[in-house]
Every structure is written in structure tokens, then in C-alpha cells.
Structure 1
Amino acid sequence: MNEDFINLTSENLASEHLSCIIRTKKAHPGVEAKRQWLSERLKEGHVFRKLNEKATVFIEYAPLESAWVPIIGDRYFYIYCLWATGEFKGKGYGKALMEYCIADAKAKGKSGICMLGAKKQKAWLTDQAFATKFGFKVVDTTDNGYDLLALSFDGSKPQFADHAKNMEIDQKELTIFYDMQCPYIYQTIEKLKAYCEEKFVPVTFHQIDTLEKAKQLPCVFNNWAAFYNGKFETVNLLAPSFIDRILKKKS
């Protein structure tokens, strides 16, 4: 099955489909932002492995030391995303991608692999039930239901940075932290800006554009985090309807 997959490189990044649902013949600003983000990350050991089709079948992971998440640990890989959806689901592709990541980690002398999960499955996060089939276990938690899952090869455990468990900020208005790791982020921000302007909702957007900023975030993060009234809300990308529910619930 390995011949069905391809890894993105600096040589093929400009021409390859990025394996998310966004499909258009025209240049898409979210996809192009993702390409630019990846062009820098590939130099740091970031891996993007995809089915050699225009399909949502891929895994994306990086050395934890250079992964844009407030998680600490030595010699771990961090999985951002692992997806096999649509007509390609249930054909063993997800299993093959996870097995590739595990083999890659062992070949490079890593201590293990970790990923963000939750006690109740969240949209935009890899299915933790799938990960547990490979031996991933919860090694750290937050008070509001997020878990750090890890597959350890040597008994060591990564953990959330202490400040990532704060889940509070000083700003009371709707506040979004984001990076350009996901092609959907660009269009989500544009929609939220338009909605908040129309509804006169104060909002602040903080782009995380360096590793240092990501490592210092006051919350769990996979590429997105939302706060309201100073309290952490979600790592899910927000639809305007979700913002409306937050505002009504906490008004």
C-alpha cells in the first residue's frame, strides 16, 4: 500500500493537492497560505504524507520540539492531523498512515508520538478512539476536558506546558488565536470578521506566526483557539452560529 502515498517536499509542494476538502482550479487563499506555512515547516522535519489522489487522506506530524503547540517533551513526534474520509474511509488508509508515522518515529530514535484529544470527541481533532487502538494513552489532561494522548516507546511522557492549562486571558471580548496550518482558517476568519462587523461584536484576532508564540499560548491549541469573557471556549474552527450561541449563553 505504500506505493499509494506521497510525501510533500520542497520540490513538489507547489504542485501537489493538499488533501483537504477545498478543491478549486483557481488559487485559493487558504490553500496558498497553507503552502507558505508548510514551505518553512518542511525544513524543520515536518511530515505531510498523503494519498496520491485528490482526496482527504493524509497524516501531518512534526518533531514536538518544533511543533506549533504548547506541549513539552523530548524526542517525540506530534500529530496535527490524520484523516481518511469520504469514499476512502474504511479501506485501511488511516491504519497505513499511522503505521508509517510509528515506523518513522522508531527509525529516527524517537521516544514516542503524541496528539491532542478530548474526553468527548471534538470536530477538527483526529479521532482519539482510533489512536487508542495503536496503544495511545492519556498522559495529561486539562480541567475542561482536553487530553494529551501519547504512544510511548520508552516510558517517558510529554505534557502540556503549565501555562497551556491556564485557559484564561485578560481580554473579555471574543478573542481568536490562529495559525495558517489549516487551509480552512483563512476563510473562517474572513467569515467571522464579516459576521462580527455586521452584529457589532468586538473581536480580536491573534495570528500565531512563530514557534515561540505557539509554545507560550495560554491554552491547548492545534491551529486554533477561541476565548470569550476571558475564558477558553474551543479548539474548533467557529461558525457564526456558534459565536451567537456563546454570546447568548454568557450575556
Structure 2
Amino acid sequence: MEYIRVTKDNLEEEHICCAISNNKDVQVSSKKAWLADRFDEGLVFLKSAERGKCFIEYIPAESAWVPIEADGYMYIDCLWVSGSFKGHGYSTELLDACIADSKEKGRKGLCILSSAKKKPFLADPKFLKYKGFEVCDEADNGIQLWYLPFDEKAVKPAFKECAKHPHIDEKGYVLYYTNQCPFNAKYVPVLEETAKKNNIPFKAIKIQSIDEAQNAPTPITTYSFFCDGEYVTNEQMNDKKFLKLIGK
């Protein structure tokens, strides 16, 4: 497989895999704007030259938009291979490229979010275990932090306390999200409009800085849905899924 590294220089010309459309699409424009601000922080976006969901996105953990303590590690935002690309070893190729790059940059290892059982939009725990990753921390809601150290003596990454015990004081339905996931630009407004039409108490909180992200009340900052203060899901929803979830 031929891979292309997306940079500031080619960002406008290249598709970004997770949202394949033209640059005028709100999902594409929001994701590309988010990426553009992260490249100077060390973010790498490596993708298949072919159009489709086959890519890896990673960044030094100190600059990751997640509430973790993982100085010296590389954090994988997303490793996504799906559709016709599955079953050809591309996930391994992308991960190997990340490992090689991280070692060259003097990183201590890799870390990534997952769970005991596969959840939507999170890394597959079976694949991680097969590749030598181990669980190094777990939040109360079952979200796990996995790591692959390059040195056995390296200190294990860990969740910050705010993320280890996901809870908020607000009542009603509250969604925390970022533009790291392009789908949010399309579907968060759908939820807001659906809630308004159905008189549902709903509030969407957009995380807009690394400081907000690293001190968020949830291990998953891309999309975390709460009900009366308790964490519910990280799965993006359209209007029908939203109404079904809340029993409307």
C-alpha cells in the first residue's frame, strides 16, 4: 500500500479519509482546520493514497487533546482501517510506521484509548493485545488507556483524576465534543435542533483548547454524552439514535 503524509502543504489537496468529500463540506472543513492547528504541535496524519478509511493520526502525548499523564509518549488519536481495506495488514503497516517514527523521535512508547470490549470509534482491544499493548489505566466508565512501551522501565501513562471518574454536576443531557472528529460538525447541530423541537434539556459543550481537553471530565474528549451527570456513551448519534436513546 502506498501512503501519504498529510501536512500543511498538501492539506487542501488531500482527502482525510474519515470524511471523504469536498472542502466545502462542513465536516471536511472543520476537521482540516483542526488538523492545521495541530501540525506545529507534532501531529502526524498518515493515510492510504487510495480514497477510503485507512489512516493513522498521532501526536506527542503532551499535546494530545485527552486528560492523560503520559510525558514522553506518543498518543494515537485514531487508527482506522475499514471496508475493503480490512484484512490486508494495513493496520499493522500504519502502526509499524508510527512505531518507527516515534522511536526516531525519542518517544518512550505509544498510548491509545480502548476498552475491554470493542466500542464504536475506539481501537480494537484484540488488535492492541496482539500487537503487544497492555492496559495501564481504566476509568470508572470502562474506558481504558493502553500502552506499548519501548523501554520496560518507562513510567506507565495514566488518566488524570478528572477523567478517571467521569461525572458532571449538570442535569439533563450534556455532550462534550471537539472538532477532532469531523462528524461532529454535521451531527451536533442535528442533536441541538432535535432537542429544541422535542423540548429535551440538552447542552452541547465544544472543547476548544488543549487546556480544556486535558482537564475534561471524561477520558474521551471527541464525543462524550452525559445524562444527569452520568456518562452514557461515546457513540456519535443522528436524530433517530438520539431520540431512541432517551426513550422518545
With normalisation by structure 1, the TM-score equals 0.93
- In the alignment, structure 1 segments of 5+ residues that lack a partner are none
> Which runs of structure 2 are paired with 1:1-251 in the superposition (5 Å)?
1=1, 4-20=2-18, 22-25=19-22, 27-155=24-152, 156-248=155-247
Counterpart residue type for residue 34 of structure 1: K
Q: Give 3-state SS (helix, strand or coil) of 2:246's partner.
A: helix
Q: Give 3-state SS (helix, strand or coil) of 1:65's partner.
A: helix
Q: Give 3-state SS (helix, strand or coil) of 2:45's partner.
A: strand
Separation in 2 of the partners of 1:45 and 1:120? 30
Query: Per-residue deviation at 1:241?
Result: 3.8
Contact 1:137 1:150 in 2 (8 A): yes
RMSD: 1.5
Spell out, residue by residue over 1:217-240, the C-alpha distance to the aligned partner (whole angstroms, 9 max, x if none): 011114111111111112221233
Spell out, residue by residue over 1:37-83, the C-alpha distance to the aligned partner (whole angstroms, 9 max, x if none): 10010110001000011111000011000000011111111111111
Contact 1:116 1:222 in 2 (8 A): no
Separation in 1 of the partners of 2:187 and 2:24? 17
Query: Per-residue deviation at 1:245?
Result: 4.2
Separation in 1 of the partners of 2:194 and 2:228? 19
- In the alignment, structure 2 segments of 5+ residues that lack a partner are none
Contact 1:80 1:222 in 2 (8 A): no
Counterpart residue type for residue 47 of structure 1: V
Separation in 2 of the partners of 1:154 and 1:131? 18
Separation in 2 of the partners of 1:165 and 1:12? 38
Separation in 2 of the partners of 1:239 and 1:233? 16
Q: Give 3-state SS (helix, strand or coil) of 1:185's partner.
A: helix
Separation in 2 of the partners of 1:37 and 1:198? 30
Once the two structures are aligned, what percentage of the paired residues are identical?
37
The runs of 4+ residues in structure 1 deviating greater than 2 Å are 22-26, 238-249
Query: Per-residue deviation at 1:191?
Result: 1.6
Q: Give 3-state SS (helix, strand or coil) of 2:175's partner.
A: strand
Call closer, same or farther: CA 1:227–1:9 in 2, change over 3 Å.
Answer: same
Separation in 2 of the partners of 1:168 and 1:111? 31
Q: Give 3-state SS (helix, strand or coil) of 1:248's partner.
A: coil
Q: Give 3-state SS (helix, strand or coil) of 2:47's partner.
A: strand
User: Aligned pair count?
Assistant: 246
Contact 1:121 1:127 in 2 (8 A): yes
Q: Give 3-state SS (helix, strand or coil) of 1:172's partner.
A: coil
Separation in 2 of the partners of 1:121 and 1:245? 22
With normalisation by structure 2, the TM-score equals 0.94
